[in-house]
Structure 1
Amino acid sequence: MHRRRRTALLFTAVIAAASPLLTACGNDAHPGAAAVVGDQRITIAQLEDRVDEVREAQRAAVSDEDQYQQVVARTGTLTRDTLHSMVLDRVLHRAAQDAGVTVTRREVQSMRGGFEEQAGGAKELETVWLQQYGVAPERLEDNLRLQLEAQKLAESLGTDTGRPEFWQALSKASEKLDVDLNPRYGAWDVRKSSRVDSEVPWVREITAARTQQTA
């Protein structure tokens, strides 16, 4: 596989791997927002719509309800993973802008064509992206654009997407954008450019009280 495609897949896998546990709830500072990234709001409705796209695609890909429930069980962190991806997309785009990096539609189409050839066709590629990365078919090209943007940013920095220099650029972009997550989804770690769990004492206290009541 071409080096650019290997690193692009690596970056997708990094996004898909972010799945810490859910904590906390509510954010009065930004009602209705799952996250605020710079001057852009990612609303809870937008997040739910994106998750629904994946669930609908997963449902269409299996033959019966039992299989679908197994798929749902294996992707129980889908909402948080999806929000992580939506935020990181904006962070990456800002870092790319700062570095003067752009991606053309022709480049995206070229990458898609190469992946389709390897996967055995367009439908097969959509299935791979859905199963491995939780990307709905209608979001495939958006995701490929993200991969290309990441790769070209890394190249502009003289590194690759697995190296600290690349993530330092994303960290700077995260700081500039002042990413703010609704606490129900955790918090945004600027240094790692990643969603993390929130430390909320009252959640632990309630959990402990319930454990004592049922003991």
Structure 2
Amino acid sequence: MNRSRRVALLFAAAVTFGGLSACEPSQLGAAAIVEDQRITVTEIQSYLDQVREQREEFGLPTELDPDAARVEVERRVLNLVFERAAQQMNLRITEADIEETRSAESRSADELAELAAQNNVTVESLDEVYRRFTIERKISEAIEQQFPNAGETQLNEEFAKRLIAVAESLRIKVNPRYGTFDPKVGQITVTSWDFLKAPKG
């Protein structure tokens, strides 16, 4: 069963799997912390500035959606989760594997750059996108080999279970300004503030 998907799909939304936990980062300036790796607010802001410049090059609106920063933080957090999942499954991700993913893309460089700009992905970060997609593909292939007679639903459930287990094993903290991890879907969701509730203390 071929479950590979075009890399362009990763532009539109991060792969989610549910079950992530979250708490407030303890280090000033951190957008998120995964184990000891910090994703800084400055990095996110700088990245979005690059996105605006790239969108301007293609005549696209440079005013980004209000959730653009949250989506970028989420993408980076999930990249680290997928990296750890590959490590725990003893999967070796080679340059040849990534090139196989890259070569499956039929669009020209200019077309791909414009598609990336439309989805707030910089050309410079395309290598990360290809690597993430390659890891997802390799995990899927490993699961299919382990369960050769399984149907699509079972394979997807097993994939989700593996990623949930990895995410729960990591210390993942997200700055509340970007929201919190939804334990059911594994996405960073906007925090809903109850302004009618008096603060404690």
Q: TM-score range by the shorter chain?
A: 0.7 to 0.9
Give 1:87 deviation, angstroms. 0.5
Matched, 1:46 2:43: yes
CA distance 1:163–1:28, change in 2 (3 Å) = closer
Structure 1 CA distance for aligned equivalents of residues 184 and 171 of structure 2: 12
Q: Give the match's secondary structure for 1:68.
A: coil
Q: Which of residues 136, 148, 167 is equivalent to 2:134?
A: 148
Return the alpha-carbon distance in structure 2 between the equivalents of residues 53 and 9 of structure 1. Answer: 19
| Bigger relative CO (Cα 8 Å, ≥ 6 apart) | 2
Match of 1:130 in 2: 117
Q: How far 1:130 moved relative to its partner? A: 2.4
Match of 1:29 in 2: 26
Q: Distance in 2 between matches of 1:13 and 1:150?
A: 16
Q: Distance in 2 between matches of 1:38 and 1:95?
A: 14
Secondary structure of the structure 1 residue equivalent to 2:117: helix
C-alpha separation in 2, matches of 1:92 and 1:190:
17
Task: Check conservation: 1:16, 1:81, Cα contact below 8 A.
Answer: no
Runs of 5+ unmatched residues, structure 1: 18-26, 207-215
Query: Counterpart of 2:95?
Result: 105
2:14 alignment counterpart: 15
d(CA) in 2 for partners of 1:68, 1:10 = 21
* Map of 2:19 onto structure 1: none
Q: 1:135 to 1:93 in 2, by over 3 A?
A: same
| 4+ aligned runs moved over 6 Å, structure 1 | 159-162
| Correspondence list, 1:170-185, <5 A | 170-185=163-178
Within-5 A mapping of 1:53-132:
53-62=50-59, 67-69=60-62, 72=63, 75-115=65-105, 118-119=106-107, 121-131=108-118
Measured on the aligned residues, the alpha-carbon RMSD in Å equals 2.7
Asked if the contact 2:33–2:174 (Cα under 8 Å) also holds between the matched residues in 1, the reply is yes
1:212 aligned partner: none
Aligned equivalents of 1:123 and 1:16: distance in 2?
25
Is contact 2:30–2:175 with CA below 8 Å preserved after alignment? yes
Q: TM-score, normalised by structure 1?
A: 0.73
Q: Is the contact between residue 167 and residue 192 of structure 1 (CA under 8 Å) also seen in structure 2? A: no
**Cα pair distance change 1:9/1:28, threshold 3 Å:** closer
State the aligned residue count.
Answer: 182
Pairwise CA distance, 1:11: 4.9
C-alpha distance after superposition, 1:121-172 (max 9, x if no partner): 11211212221x3210111111111011011112212287982221222211
Bigger shift: residues 98-107 or 33-42: 98-107
TM-score (norm 2): 0.78
CA 1:51–1:84 in 2, change beyond 3 Å: closer, same or farther?
same
Show structure 2 runs of 5+ residues with no match: 17-23, 145-149
Tell me if structure 2 keeps the 8 A contact 1:88–1:193. no
CA contact (8 A) 2:101 2:133 kept: no
